[in-house]
Every structure is written in C-alpha cells, then in structure tokens.
Amino acid sequence: MKRTVILTTLLAAVIGSAMGQTEIRTAEELAAIGTDRETLSGSYILKNDLTLDNWVPIGWMTHDGEMGFSGTFDGNSHTITINSFGPETDNRSVGLFGIIDGKGEVKNLRVAGKPTYTDGQKMLYIAI
C-alpha cells in the first residue's frame, strides 16, 4: 500500500511539472500569485489544504484598470479556509480571488470559513 501511495504521489508531481503548473503548498506561495501580471496569468495546482489569516485577495482594480487573475488554478480537490481579511483589502473585492478576468479558470476547489472584515465601505464585492 505504501508503495502505491508513493508511486501515485510521484506520478502526480511529474504530470504537474509536465503541464507547467506551479505547485502551491503554503499561504505565502498562494499570495505570490497576485504580485504582478506574469504571476496572475500562471498555471497553478494546490497540493494541500490551506488556512488563511489576514488574506489579501488575488486580483484587484487599479487606476489603469483591472489586474485580474487570468491563469488557471486547480484546487486539486483541496480546501482553502479563509479566517480573516487583511487591512490591505480596502478597495478590493473580498474573497480568495478579488477579480478573475474572462480568461481565468478556477476549478476543483472548496473555499470555506467565516471570515471577518471590518471596513468603512458601505458596499463590498464578494468573490470566490
């Protein structure tokens, strides 16, 4: 049984690498997706469940327009639990992803939690 699990894990890693997917294992790696246009258009696969505190959504609106997620994110049947949003969330859509543009794809993912968010805004946009 142990040998089967090891071979299955190895096969999944090889397939993910062959498909050009960046593996996400930590909250820090997940947050790095939203750092610039290049990372927002990448291909990612989640390798384990994550819990997020003080989360800042991926994708946002700028004075020059949207900086939305345009890549692919395969949750690989894992769960991301959001406990709270960070103060940098001001003027962003609230969720795991703030903005997903027309090319972006998020699949095989469960999002859970009862996140807290305190802000003076009267309207919030809630996303995935």
- pLDDT value, residue 91: 57
- pLDDT value, residue 80: 97
- pLDDT value, residue 116: 66
Does residue 121 fall inside a structural domain?
no
pLDDT band for position 7 (50/70/90)? very low
pLDDT at position 19 over 70? no
Average pLDDT over residues 29-56: 94
Does residue 41 fall inside a structural domain?
yes
The count of domains in the chain is 1
Does residue 122 fall inside a structural domain?
no
pTM of the model: 0.76
Does residue 119 fall inside a structural domain?
no
Does residue 97 fall inside a structural domain?
yes
**Residue (of 49, 41, 44, 39) closest to 19 by Cα position:** 44
* Domain coverage including residue 89: 2-112
Does residue 57 fall inside a structural domain?
yes
Give the pairing type, strands 22-24 and 43-46. Answer: parallel
Does residue 42 fall inside a structural domain?
yes
Average pLDDT over residues 4-30: 67
3 state DSSP class of 23: strand
Beta-ladder partners of 106:
73
Does residue 72 fall inside a structural domain?
yes
